[in-house]
Amino acid sequence: MTPQYRRPGEEAMTVTTNQQHLALAAAGLVVLAVGAGRVWWQLHRLRRLLRSERAAALLTDATHERDMEAFRARVARAVAEQQAALEFTARVTADLAVIAAADEVITAELARTTHHNPQEGDTP
């Protein structure tokens, strides 16, 4: 190494091999620490991203389940309305059959009797 400038009575300051090795080791440790910190930060971001993806998937599943429950409820309501309509139609058809039978009876009675002038004594 080259001698450094000094005042009279002072020793020359020289860097020994051990000091060079220590400086290189310290620099290497700093580089390793920075690299490890960067890797840790990348992993941290990846974990956060995975957590958010998992949360989004759970939310999507929950929304799908809720939508399916609402769909099932709508289908059940529609089926119940259809059954009620069929029952109503069956009751109306039965009532119409009774009315038709009553109409036939009334028509037959009217055809058999005179209904123009019941005072004349033509009615049985």
**Cα separation of 114 and 120, whole Å?**
10
Phi then psi dihedrals of residue 74, to 5 deg: -65, -40
**Which residue matches tokens 């049985």?**
124
- The residues, ordered by sequence, that sit 6+ positions from 9 with a Cβ below 8 Å of its Cβ are none
Ranges of H-type helices in the chain: 17-112
Tokens 């009774």 found at: 98
Cβ(6)–Cβ(12) below 8 Å: yes
pTM over 0.75: no
Average pLDDT, rounded, for the chain: 86
pLDDT tens per residue across span 54-98: 999 999 999 999 999 999 999 999 999 999 999 999 999 999 999
Query: Is residue 116 scored above 80 in pLDDT?
Result: no
